[in-house]
């Protein structure tokens, strides 16, 4: 573990200080715990995904379409990347529901290039939920954030109009490339757009940074091999499955009794 | 004038006594150009140096990966950050130093000096770019992480060095963390006409700057960058802060002194800072996020850093107002050995700024290649600050040694000297 103890201690101290001044209800995750643990606020949302919930209750199925880039896959090990893992986990958690997760890769495309295709794609595939992972290529290309913002807005609107709920997924936390790629403006923009459109944002960046700080993963490592990627994707899938279920506001056990 | 800053500054010709912000005026650095110093040679204004030094430290810390010290930087507690301080003080000192030069030596000579300075900053920028290239070329060949295949796409530009390097020389291709110097270059480049106007009517210059700022927002003026996007600090917008600094140096601060002394200003500033603090808090604690009313979010976000959002500018003004009110220019602490490293760094801002960028690269490199870990993070930050301070001390020593040794003839080195714009 690298960026571990002290950094998170400092952060917690900072937060605690701020928290003491500000408000009650400061829920920090237990850093000692292991196994993909994450603070609760990263795994939950206030927003309800109505179509997903309806699809679960009435059609007893859940079709999810992931629009991703390279970071939604692990080359040469697709079945261990988070979309595939998400399908497995959701099938476990939602017994009796036909869960189907498919991935559409949009490699080296900015949000502006991907957005126009989303409406037709959703109309054709008819998923109940679209998970749109984006931002990395825009950050690499330093796309103007106004443009980025507009593109995401349009993508969300088009997908919703075509009949799917949307979850946004932001960039990966990538400490080694921070001197080269500045993710902050894109993270901020995605958060703002998500708020504006009442769309849940799955904060991949914060999760990965959290895991890096608690020592769950060493994301600084220069040559970790494929194993690290697989473990990270596994944790992301677990977090994402919890997040999706939370957003339906359905207790999985209800689904069982409904039958 | 070597800033063996011994004592307290006093008003200088043309410079206001109580000024806005980390106010005060830096001395024209070279002792020798005094033909027209009518008043007794003034002592250096240390508050400027102090806060510019602080800005340099904070910029360095912000450029490193987040660590314990990051919690000390002001951007975690409000809208504005160290860049505002740096640009404002740069405007202030630039106007002060070169405004005086313009008065004493004429427009042409002063403009030539400014252009020489612009050249120096440009060279510094290119030098830093070279170091950056070296670093990432190394990373490109050594870093193999299947998790980050996509992020490694950033290195694609290495495949076409012809375009990339030319674009870098044109200031259009700027790696992360290398945005401040190009802004500074552009601002300094337009300093001669600015000073010319300002010496006739500071208010007119400020009004024009405000107009340009408004036009930037209205017509979306910007400079494009390579391969896409825009300048991270839009010079059309950020010039306002620079010109405002210059305006303060040219007597504006003096005229503001009554406003600054009023309690209304104080309480408004305090209220604004607290509000900003609370809003910043919601960024760090998502649990608080929902407390903000939606209309406020709609109105407020995004807080536009490239275009120097009004909220950021106001935040800087509030900080400055409070600083000026409570930190007097003759505060004895300014001469204390504890603040000396900060003051020294502020007196050699260009050198220390570049050094800071370099150290941030180097620090990253150490963390990535040798060892990460929180202790190492902390150590790297601290070492960087010690190196910056040590170098600043060395520059001062060298300058004073040269000044002592040399005859009293004009040192052409003036622009390299501390306290320069």
The model's pLDDT over B116-162, given as tens digits with 9 standing for 90+, comes to 999 999 999 999 999 888 887 887 777 778 888 888 887 887 788 88
Strand partners, A67: A104, A132
CB neighbour burial string for B161-173, b if at least 16 within 10 angstroms, e if fewer:
eeebbebbeebbb
Handedness of CA B384, B390, B393, B399 (dihedral sign): negative
Chain B residues whose CB is inside 8 A of the A178 CB are 65, 176, 364
Inter-chain residue contact A220 with B144, CB threshold 8 Å: no
Q: How far apart are CA B236 and CA A1, in angstroms?
A: 45
Q: Do B219 and B240 meet the contact criterion of CB atoms below 8 Å apart?
A: no
CB neighbour burial string for A135-151, b if at least 16 within 10 angstroms, e if fewer:
bbbbbbbbbbbbbbbbb
Q: Do A167 and A247 meet the contact criterion of CB atoms below 8 Å apart?
A: yes
Q: Do B22 and B84 meet the contact criterion of CB atoms below 8 Å apart?
A: no
B340 part of a folded domain: yes
Q: Is the pLDDT of residue A10 over 50?
A: no
Name the percent of chain B in helix, strand, coil, to the closest 5.
70, 0, 30
Q: Is the pLDDT of residue A179 over 90?
A: no
Q: Do B244 and B203 meet the contact criterion of CB atoms below 8 Å apart?
A: no
Handedness of CA B170, B172, B176, B178 (dihedral sign): positive
Residue B149 Cα distances to A136, B229, B326, angstroms: 11, 23, 52
Residue of A70, A176, A196, A220 best to disrupt the B interface, most CBs of B under 10 A: A176
Q: Is the pLDDT of residue B357 over 50?
A: yes
Chain A residues whose CB is inside 8 A of the B377 CB are 3, 6-7
- Of residues B337 and B407, more confidence is placed in B337
Inter-chain residue contact A71 with B151, CB threshold 8 Å: yes
B123 part of a folded domain: yes
Inter-chain residue contact A224 with B372, CB threshold 8 Å: no
Please count the structural domains in chain B: 1
Nearest-CA distance B154 → chain A (Å): 5
**% of chain B at pLDDT higher than 90:** 46
Q: Do B119 and B350 meet the contact criterion of CB atoms below 8 Å apart?
A: no
The residue of chain A nearest to residue B66, with distances taken between CA atoms, is A7
Locate B376 and state its tokens: 């190492």
- Of residues B300 and B416, more confidence is placed in B300
CA A192 to centroid of chain Cα atoms: 15
A33 contact B CB<8A: no
CA A215 to centroid of chain Cα atoms: 20
Q: Do B307 and B237 meet the contact criterion of CB atoms below 8 Å apart?
A: yes
B11 part of a folded domain: no
For the beta carbon of residue B109, count every other beta carbon within 10 angstroms: 12
Locate A243 and state its tokens: 């997040």
| Chain segment A198-236, per-residue pLDDT in tens | 999 999 999 998 998 888 888 877 667 888 999 999 999
Section B208-213 average pLDDT: 96
Across B106-120, B148-162, B171-185, least confident range: B148-162
Q: How far apart are CA B264 and CA B267, in angstroms?
A: 5
Locate B191 and state its tokens: 């300093």
Chain A residues whose CB is inside 8 A of the B293 CB are none
B58 part of a folded domain: yes
The pTM is what? 0.76
Q: How far apart are CA B26 and CA B4, in angstroms?
A: 13
DSSP letter at B224?
Answer: B
Give the contacts of B81 (CB within 8 A, at least 6 positions apart).
B58, B62, B73, B74, B75
Q: Do B56 and B346 meet the contact criterion of CB atoms below 8 Å apart?
A: yes
Q: How far apart are CA B420 and CA B412, in angstroms?
A: 13
| pLDDT for res B10 | 33
| Banded pLDDT at B19 (limits 50, 70, 90) | very low
Burial class (CB in 10 A: 0-12, 13-18, 19+), A65: buried
ipTM: 0.77
B308 part of a folded domain: yes
CA A86 to centroid of chain Cα atoms: 11
Inter-chain residue contact B147 with A144, CB threshold 8 Å: no
User: Is B39 in a helix, a strand, or coil?
Assistant: coil
Q: How far apart are CA A162 and CA A164, in angstroms?
A: 6
Helix residue spans in B285-373 (DSSP H): 294-300, 310-326, 340-347, 349-369
| pLDDT for res A208 | 94
Inter-chain residue contact B176 with A178, CB threshold 8 Å: yes
Burial class (CB in 10 A: 0-12, 13-18, 19+), B160: exposed
B3 part of a folded domain: no
The residue assigned the tokens 């921070």 is A178
Locate B418 and state its tokens: 């501390």
DSSP letter at B145?
Answer: -
Alpha-carbon dihedral angle through residues B166, B170, B175, B178, given to the nearest 10 degrees: 140
Q: How far apart are CA A47 and CA A52, in angstroms?
A: 12
Inter-chain residue contact A218 with B372, CB threshold 8 Å: yes
Q: How far apart are CA A35 and CA A28, in angstroms?
A: 16
How many interchain CB pairs under 8 A, A with B?
177
Q: How far apart are CA B51 and CA B369, in angstroms?
A: 33
| Banded pLDDT at A186 (limits 50, 70, 90) | very high
Inter-chain residue contact A223 with B144, CB threshold 8 Å: yes
Q: Is the pLDDT of residue B14 over 50?
A: no
Residue of A14, A26, A112, A177 best to disrupt the B interface, most CBs of B under 10 A: A177
- Containing domain of residue B246, as a range? 46-416
Residue A109 Cα distances to A34, A188, B24, B304, B396, angstroms: 35, 20, 50, 25, 51
Name the percent of chain A in helix, strand, coil, to the closest 5.
55, 10, 35
Which of B56, B54, B28 lies closest to B354 in space, CA to CA?
A: B56
Chain B residues whose CB is inside 8 A of the A201 CB are none
Q: How far apart are CA A160 and CA A166, in angstroms?
A: 7
Q: How far apart are CA A163 and CA B403, in angstroms?
A: 76
Chain B residues whose CB is inside 8 A of the A151 CB are none
Inter-chain residue contact A229 with B145, CB threshold 8 Å: yes
| Chain segment A128-162, per-residue pLDDT in tens | 999 999 999 999 888 888 889 999 999 999 999 99
Chain A residues whose CB is inside 8 A of the B68 CB are 6-7, 9-10
Locate B148 and state its tokens: 């980050």
B20 part of a folded domain: no
The crossing angle, in degrees rounded to 10, of helices B46-63 and B340-347 is 90
For the beta carbon of residue B260, count every other beta carbon within 10 angstroms: 20
Q: What is the CATH number of domain A5-258?
A: 3.40.50.1110
CA A19 to centroid of chain Cα atoms: 26
B66 part of a folded domain: yes
Query: Which stretches of A150-241 are assigned E, i.e. beta strand?
Result: 165-169, 201-202
User: Is A16 in a helix, a strand, or coil?
Assistant: helix
Mean pLDDT, chain B, integer: 82
Q: Is the pLDDT of residue B397 over 50?
A: yes
The residue assigned the tokens 């009518």 is B38
> What's the CA angle centered on B334, arms B333 and B337, to 5 degrees?
75
A229 contact B CB<8A: yes
Q: Which of residues 337-396 of B touch A (CB under 8 A)?
A: 360-361, 364, 367-369, 371-375, 377-378
Inter-chain residue contact A179 with B145, CB threshold 8 Å: no
């Amino acid at each position: 573990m690298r960026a571990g103890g002290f950094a998170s201690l400092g952060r917690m101290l900072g937060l605690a200080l701020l928290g003491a001044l500000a408000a009650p209800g400061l829920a920090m995750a237990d850093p000692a715990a292991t196994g993909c643990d994450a603070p609760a606020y990263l795994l939950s949302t206030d927003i309800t995904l109505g179509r997903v919930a309806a699809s679960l209750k009435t059609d007893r199925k859940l079709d999810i379409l992931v629009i991703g880039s390279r970071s939604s896959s692990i080359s040469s090990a697709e079945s261990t990347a988070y979309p595939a893992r998400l399908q497995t986990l959701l099938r476990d958690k939602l017994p009796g529901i036909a869960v189907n997760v498919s991935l559409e890769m949009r490699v080296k495309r900015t949000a502006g290039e991907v957005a126009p295709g989303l409406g037709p794609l959703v109309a054709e595939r008819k998923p109940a939920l679209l998970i749109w992972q984006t931002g990395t290529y825009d950050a690499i290309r330093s796309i103007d954030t106004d443009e980025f913002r507009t593109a995401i807005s349009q993508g969300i609107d088009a997908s919703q109009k075509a009949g799917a709920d949307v979850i946004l997924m932001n960039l990966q936390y990538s400490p080694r490339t921070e001197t080269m790629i500045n993710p902050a403006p894109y993270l901020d923009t995605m958060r703002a757009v998500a708020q504006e459109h009442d769309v849940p944002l799955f904060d991949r960046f914060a999760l990965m940074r959290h895991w890096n700080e608690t020592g769950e993963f060493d994301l600084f490592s220069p040559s970790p091999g494929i194993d690290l990627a697989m473990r990270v994707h596994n944790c992301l899938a677990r977090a994402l499955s919890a997040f999706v279920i939370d957003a339906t506001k359905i207790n999985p056990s209800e689904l069982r009794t409904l039958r | 004038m070597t800033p063996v800053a011994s004592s307290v500054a006093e008003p200088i010709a043309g410079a206001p006594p109580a000024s806005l912000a980390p106010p005060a005026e830096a001395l024209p650095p070279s002792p020798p150009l005094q033909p027209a110093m009518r008043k007794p040679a003034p002592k250096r204004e240390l508050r400027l140096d102090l806060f510019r030094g602080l800005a340099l430290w904070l910029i360095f810390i912000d450029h490193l990966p987040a660590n314990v010290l990051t919690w000390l930087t002001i951007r975690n507690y409000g809208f504005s950050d160290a860049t505002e301080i740096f640009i404002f003080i740069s405007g202030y000192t630039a106007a002060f130093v070169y405004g005086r030069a313009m008065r004493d030596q004429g427009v042409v000579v002063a403009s030539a000096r400014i252009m020489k300075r612009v050249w120096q900053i440009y060279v510094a920028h290119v030098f830093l770019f070279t170091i950056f290239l070296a670093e990432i070329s190394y990373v490109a060949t050594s870093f193999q992480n299947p998790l980050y295949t996509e992020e490694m796409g950033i290195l694609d530009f290495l495949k076409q060095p012809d375009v990339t390097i030319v674009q870098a020389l044109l200031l259009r291709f700027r790696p992360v963390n290398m945005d401040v110097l190009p802004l500074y270059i552009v601002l300094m480049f337009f300093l001669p006409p600015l000073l010319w106007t300002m010496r006739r009517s500071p208010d007119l210059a400020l009004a024009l700057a405000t107009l340009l700022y408004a036009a930037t927002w209205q017509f979306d003026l910007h400079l494009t960058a390579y391969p896409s996007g825009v300048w991270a600090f839009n010079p059309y917008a950020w010039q306002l802060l620079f010109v405002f600094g210059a305006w303060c140096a040219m007597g504006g601060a003096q005229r503001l002194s009554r406003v600054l002394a009023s309690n209304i200003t104080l309480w408004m500033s305090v209220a604004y800072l607290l509000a900003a603090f609370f809003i910043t808090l919601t960024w760090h604690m998502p649990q608080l996020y929902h407390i903000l009313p939606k209309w406020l979010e709609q109105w407020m976000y995004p807080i536009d850093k490239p275009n120097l959002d009004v909220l950021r500018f106001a935040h800087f003004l509030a900080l400055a107002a409070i600083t000026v009110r409570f930190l007097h220019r003759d505060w004895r602490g300014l001469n204390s050995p504890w603040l000396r490293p900060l003051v020294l760094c502020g007196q050699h801002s260009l050198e220390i700024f570049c050094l800071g960028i370099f150290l941030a690269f180097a620090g990253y490199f150490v963390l990535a290649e040798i060892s990460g870990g929180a202790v190492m993070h902390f150590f790297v930050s601290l070492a960087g600050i010690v190196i910056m301070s040590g170098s600043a001390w060395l520059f001062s020593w060298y300058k004073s040694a040269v000044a002592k040794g040399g005859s009293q003839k004009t040192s052409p080195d003036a622009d390299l000297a501390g306290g320069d714009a």
